[in-house]
Amino acid sequence: MDRIILPEKVNRIIRRLTDAGFEACAVGGCVRDSLLGRKPQDWDITTSAAPEEVKSVFPHTVDTGIKHGTVTVLEGIGEDREAFEVTTYRIDGEYDDARHPREVTFTPDLKEDLRRRDFTINAMAYSEETGLIDLFGGKEDLERKLIRAVGVPEERFGEDALRIMRAVRFAAQLGYEVEDNTAAAAAALAPNLAKISCERIMVELTKLLVSPHPDELRRMSELGITAVFLPEFDRCMETPQNNPHHCYNVGEHILHSLTAVRPDPVLRFAMLFHDIGKPQCHTTDEEGIDHFHGHAEVSAKLADQILRRLKSDNATRREVVALVAAHGADLGETEAELRKSIAQIGPDRFPLLLEVKAADAAAQSDHRREEKEATLARWRAMYEEILARGDCLSLKDLAVKGDDLVAAGVPAGRKIGEILGRMLQDVLETPEHNRKELLLARHVPKKP
């Protein structure tokens, strides 16, 4: 059955347009996801109406990308209002580095509009009136679980190299294969990705990493895609780890660690980069055992460089770099030591670090696995207890504030920070010391 239940608002928009004498259908990702029984992220509508005609049919519209034929239609009243992109049938000119093709031509023919789309599974349209419109075998490719370019793959990747990354990204999201000719063209044209802006590459890389199959990064490496924007990863794929703790080379270990961690962007990027500096730190001892001394620090530095190069947002970059830097740290034996580790790494970041460590261990050999898992379990349990007790873990929770020190006669300036720092160390060691009078008595020198 090819019946899709369109949301009522989508039906209303389509009906309005067809009542006015135009063609209109839902199109692209929402049709694909509906056929798969997945909930679409958004519903896009394609129409024979020109942008000005779309605007004349609806009372509430926004000119989002009117040059490219896209009008946002606001449907519903008040709280219930939702935005839908309605785009005129179009043929794309050559794509440039931006999100949109350099020039577009409108066309009265739906077939032309579907032909410009990247993959068969993304090139289907649907309305209640027309049913499924599938001119390129998209449904069959959904059934065969194949990512296949619409038309001649070399041409399609030549028009817009980003599609090469999108092919692997969709394979990762859906658990599909890339059809052979499409894959061959992707490999042949991958160097063209150098022309694509970092922002667009970052969007695709992030979607791949948070997908159910982040290890599809392997395919990106095999097709020569990472060679363009992440050659550091290709080096990892060539770096062996002849060491009892490991059973994979560095790159494969990274791939396994990616699948072992929750699909959160910070965590997935942290796993991608946690060992990225290993090739630079590689030494082999007399017994032929590989070592990677200092690799956490080198990896953190590289992660910072790479994320800047790829124009990551600063918040993500900082979190990832901090986690990479700390990924191998010994968090301590005693509760006091653990509290100090938490304070140093940051109480908000700490639970993420435990997840990073667990994924790292899961992607290693079975050598001393039980011991590693027991240590992690102990840290987790101690951390829970520390949280449950509400132990002070940062200056924010310290019973003494800067103002209290000024009131106690400490001159404003560097001294204040130093004393607060000592008080925090004291309280991390002995949580019961987190009382104002006691801390002032212990750490503020008595006036003569």
Indicate which of ligand ATP, Mg ion, none lies near residue 268 (CB less than 5 to 8 Å, by partner kind).
Answer: none
Indicate which of Mg ion, ligand ATP, none lies near residue 261 (CB less than 5 to 8 Å, by partner kind).
Answer: none
Tell the smallest beta-carbon distance from residue 413 to Mg ion (Å). Answer: 55
Q: In this complex, which beta carbon is closest to ligand ATP, that of residue 174 or of residue 419?
A: 174
Tell the smallest beta-carbon distance from residue 28 to Mg ion (Å). Answer: 7
Alpha carbons 27 and 93: distance in angstroms, whole number: 20
Tell the smallest beta-carbon distance from residue 269 to ligand ATP (Å). Answer: 18
List C-alpha distances in Å: 387 to 379, 380, 434.
Answer: 12, 11, 15
Q: In this complex, which beta carbon is closest to ligand ATP, that of residue 162 or of residue 393?
A: 162
Handedness of CA 134, 135, 140, 142 (dihedral sign): negative
Indicate which of ligand ATP, Mg ion, none lies near residue 163 (CB less than 5 to 8 Å, by partner kind).
Answer: ligand ATP
Q: In this complex, which beta carbon is closest to ligand ATP, that of residue 12 or of residue 68?
A: 68
Alpha carbons 222 and 153: distance in angstroms, whole number: 18
In which residue are the tokens 């605007």 written? 55
Tell the smallest beta-carbon distance from residue 114 to ligand ATP (Å). Answer: 8
Tell the smallest beta-carbon distance from residue 59 to ligand ATP (Å). Answer: 26
Q: In this complex, which beta carbon is closest to Mg ion, that of residue 147 or of residue 271?
A: 147
Expressed in percent and rounded to 5, the helix, strand and coil fractions of the chain are: 55, 10, 35
Radius of gyration of the chain (CA): 28
95 close to 101: Cβ distance less than 8 angstroms: yes
Q: In this complex, which beta carbon is closest to ligand ATP, that of residue 123 or of residue 258?
A: 123
B/e letters for 354-392, b = 16+ CB within 10 Å, e = fewer, are: ebbbbbbbbbbeeeeeeebeebbeebeebbeebeeeebb
Could you tell me how many residues make up the chain?
448
Beta pairing partners, 74: 83
Tell the smallest beta-carbon distance from residue 162 to ligand ATP (Å). Answer: 5
Q: In this complex, which beta carbon is closest to ligand ATP, that of residue 44 or of residue 134?
A: 44
Alpha carbons 323 and 22: distance in angstroms, whole number: 54
* Site of interaction with ligand ATP (CB under 6 A): 28-29, 41, 44, 117-118, 122-123, 160, 162-163
Indicate which of Mg ion, ligand ATP, none lies near residue 257 (CB less than 5 to 8 Å, by partner kind).
Answer: none
Tell the smallest beta-carbon distance from residue 126 to ligand ATP (Å). Answer: 13
Indicate which of Mg ion, ligand ATP, none lies near residue 90 (CB less than 5 to 8 Å, by partner kind).
Answer: none
193 close to 165: Cβ distance less than 8 angstroms: yes
Tell the smallest beta-carbon distance from residue 170 to Mg ion (Å). Answer: 11
Of residues 58, 90, 70, 75, the one with CA closest to residue 10: 75
Q: Which residue is nearest to Mg ion (CB)?
A: 29
Q: In this complex, which beta carbon is closest to ligand ATP, that of residue 68 or of residue 433?
A: 68
Indicate which of ligand ATP, Mg ion, none lies near residue 122 (CB less than 5 to 8 Å, by partner kind).
Answer: ligand ATP
Q: In this complex, which beta carbon is closest to ligand ATP, that of residue 95 or of residue 233?
A: 95
Indicate which of ligand ATP, Mg ion, none lies near residue 118 (CB less than 5 to 8 Å, by partner kind).
Answer: ligand ATP
Indicate which of Mg ion, ligand ATP, none lies near residue 117 (CB less than 5 to 8 Å, by partner kind).
Answer: ligand ATP
Alpha carbons 170 and 176: distance in angstroms, whole number: 7
Alpha carbons 17 and 415: distance in angstroms, whole number: 71
Q: In this complex, which beta carbon is closest to ligand ATP, that of residue 162 or of residue 261?
A: 162
List C-alpha distances in Å: 72 to 22, 25, 378.
Answer: 17, 15, 53
Q: Which residue is nearest to ligand ATP (CB)?
A: 29
Tell the smallest beta-carbon distance from residue 124 to ligand ATP (Å). Answer: 9
List C-alpha distances in Å: 272 to 106, 256, 307, 417.
Answer: 42, 10, 11, 36
Strands 24-27 and 125-127: antiparallel
* Site of interaction with Mg ion (CB under 5 A): 29
Alpha carbons 72 and 63: distance in angstroms, whole number: 6
